[in-house]
Chains A and B, each alone.
Chain A
């Protein structure tokens, strides 16, 4: 719709002025995209080169069949272990966040009861607090619960951190759902639990996707909490394991770049497939 009026506008301004302005903007965009992608392309290229090749010709296109660096990572490091750990911690946290977040949002959004506004405010307060600064009491709390050096400590903190945004997004969404279905089921004598599970939950899936993506990226990428809570090498998550790995292979740049490439690969591939959902999810807190 706006395309038509824009064409109009171009005509009035004269083709030259438009080309000049849009040309400049196009140049800015292309330059920026090159800057955004170049580091990633160099990283992937370097992953297939030997260290001397990286030093001599850092920008050349490598022989992609040369996978010695990856083989080294596969066989000589704990990389797979770190990857598994990241999957376990992120997966468990996401299940807890979405389950608990939906429960709270459903109660707040679907029922009227005393204190519901206060409870929503309580969750929202968690949105703005930088939890990093409470790391000392958190460390003591994990020690008292005997889950220091245990992945439960990470799962619990991530769950608590993810709940405010999830409750916020899901409550807003659940409130917009129509009452008719629910009322009809209630007439038929369905229990509250059954109404929630069979009728309402299938409807909230879109909001779950948004809330899920908003939380999954920071959890998958987090480094700070493992740094404090996890010491045991076999329990480390990927970002934390990467620091161990980078320290061991400091001079073997081929292996370093392939380690970085392997770490980045899962999220880059998912992002390329689901870029629309990623962008919507990760900016959803900042875009009304």
Chain B
């Protein structure tokens, strides 16, 4: 390969690389770096005021009522993460295992499980909002039809069921993703290993826990990390189904909603505050980066190279 000179080929390479680099620099890197800077200033509307050091961070973490809002939203994100770990990733693993056997109809089941994934979250949110309607929603109508009318309730209208109802909608929406990632992982397990296992044991349980699960570790690393990042960025579903305030009574409030509300204002919080919003964004960002890093390195360590 010839040396890079700013003639001929050098110019050509520059012409190829500069426009895409400029887009990423201007619309990803610059905004993210700015988000950190914004958090250290006082903001009046869209106008940047004085440098205030760590005051914005102090406010959202330690000053009421922000402190309780932050803690409440964070607590809900943690619930969402662990619930989806079971409902989305756990179920996804079981479904992948079932699909992997290539039973009759497997192709159809595979297409069906991934169908909700391609839908817009907004469509899913409204669909389930209508389904959860206390009087006319199909959930309560089905319960009544099955003679379980006493179980019918205003799912989205009461604090102890609202968040869980939204979590179920999320699991329905996205379970196909981990399913097919796990399935791809299982399909990569070499046939010789499976044959060897068949010689050793008849137990399905041993096969799953000792062979399949360790060998799909790379898939697990990816879906766990993506779920973590997704759970702490959760916004659309609670925004449509619970509203911007996380109603009822903040029971569906999550960090994404709280951050958006703080930054851009709403009816109850009124004023928009870019300083506090940026401080929240930076805290969420650091938290996600740290924990996702830990999850990835810890899980990578148990991956086995075949």
Residues on A lying within 8 angstroms of B by beta carbon are: 1-2, 5, 9, 12-13, 21-22, 25-26, 28-30, 32-33, 35-37, 39-40, 42-43, 54-55, 58-59, 96, 100-101, 103-104, 106-108, 111-114, 119, 122-123, 125-126, 128-138, 140-141, 143, 156-157, 159-161, 163-164, 167, 192-193, 217, 220-221, 223-224, 228, 238-240, 242-243, 246, 253, 256-257, 260, 263-264, 267-268, 271-272, 275, 278-279, 282-283, 286-288
Q: How many residues of B contact A (CB 8 A)?
A: 96
Which of B57-65, B147-155, B156-164, B232-240 lies on the face that meets chain A?
Answer: B232-240
Contact of A22 among B20, B31, B101, B176 (CB under 8 A): B101
Q: Given A22-B101, A103-B20, A112-B1, decide whether A271 and B115 contact each other with a Cβ distance below 8 A.
A: yes
Kindly supply a per-residue 1/0 record for chain B positions 241-285, scoring 1 wherever the CB is within 8 Å of any chain A CB and 0 otherwise: 000000000000000100110011000000000100110011011
Which of chain B's residues have a CB closer than 8 A to the CB of A133?
32, 35, 233, 259, 281-282, 284-285
Q: Given A131-B28, A132-B233, A253-B136, decide whether A287 and B184 contact each other with a Cβ distance below 8 A.
A: yes
Which of chain B's residues have a CB closer than 8 A to the CB of A37?
112, 115
A132 touches B223 (CB 8 A): no
Tell me, in angstroms, the Cα distance from A242 to B125 when the chains sit together. Answer: 11
A271 touches B118 (CB 8 A): yes
Contact of A160 among B27, B38, B130 (CB under 8 A): B27
Contact of A138 among B31, B172, B223, B264 (CB under 8 A): B31
Q: Contacts A37-B115, A103-B19, A264-B123 known; list 9 others, CB within 8 Å.
A: A5-B195, A33-B112, A128-B229, A133-B259, A133-B282, A134-B35, A141-B27, A159-B27, A240-B122
Q: Can you identify 9 A-B contacts, CB atoms within 8 angstroms?
A: A29-B103, A36-B176, A100-B20, A134-B28, A136-B35, A239-B122, A246-B126, A253-B130, A282-B177
Residues on B lying within 8 angstroms of A by beta carbon are: 1, 4, 8-10, 12-13, 16-17, 19-21, 23-24, 26-32, 34-35, 38, 46, 94-95, 97-99, 101, 103-106, 108-123, 126-128, 130-131, 136, 138, 141, 172, 176-177, 180-181, 184-185, 191, 194-195, 198, 202, 204, 218-219, 222-223, 226, 229, 233, 235-236, 240, 256, 259-260, 263-264, 274, 277-278, 281-282, 284-285, 288, 292
Contact of A111 among B13, B19, B180 (CB under 8 A): B13
Interface of chain A: mostly helix, strand, loop or mixed = helix
Interface of chain B: mostly helix, strand, loop or mixed = helix
B13 touches A113 (CB 8 A): yes
A28 touches B94 (CB 8 A): yes
CB distance from B219 to the nearest CB of A (A): 7
Which of chain B's residues have a CB closer than 8 A to the CB of A287?
181, 184-185, 219
Which of chain B's residues have a CB closer than 8 A to the CB of A263?
120, 123
